[in-house]
Amino acid sequence: MSYMDFSGADLTNVKLANSNCVGTNFSNCILIHSNLYCAQLKNANFENAILIYANLSGADLESANLHGANLSYTNFLNANLRFTDFEAANHDCSNFDNADMEGANFN
């Protein structure tokens, strides 16, 4: 499923645990309560997506674009967030415990 284009789709409650979504476009998607546990999301685009209460624990989001995304209450436990762009993202009450955030941009 890598390099798919879901831009603007309503994917509320979607179950993509352990999926290969490398380079997939989720821009402007609604992913509320989505399960992306341990998904491969390297270079994925989540610009302006809504991921409230999403489970991204153990996911690989290296170099992903989360610019302007709403990540409130999102779980990033043990996620790979190296070089991920969080600029202008809302990450209130999100869980970043044990996540690798080397080079991540939160400006």
Q: Give the pLDDT confidence of 44-58 residue by residue, as tens digits.
A: 999 999 999 999 999
**Extents of the domains making up the chain:** 1-99
For residues 22 and 39, what is the distance between their CA atoms, to the nearest angstrom?
9
- Which two three-digit tokens encode residue 93? 């009450």
For residues 73 and 56, what is the distance between their CA atoms, to the nearest angstrom?
11
pLDDT at 1: 75
Vertex 44: Cα angle to 1 and 27 (nearest 5): 100
pLDDT tens digit string along 67-107?
999 999 999 999 999 999 999 999 999 999 999 999 999 98
Q: Class assignment of domain 1-99?
A: mainly beta
Q: Which amino acid is at 54?
A: A
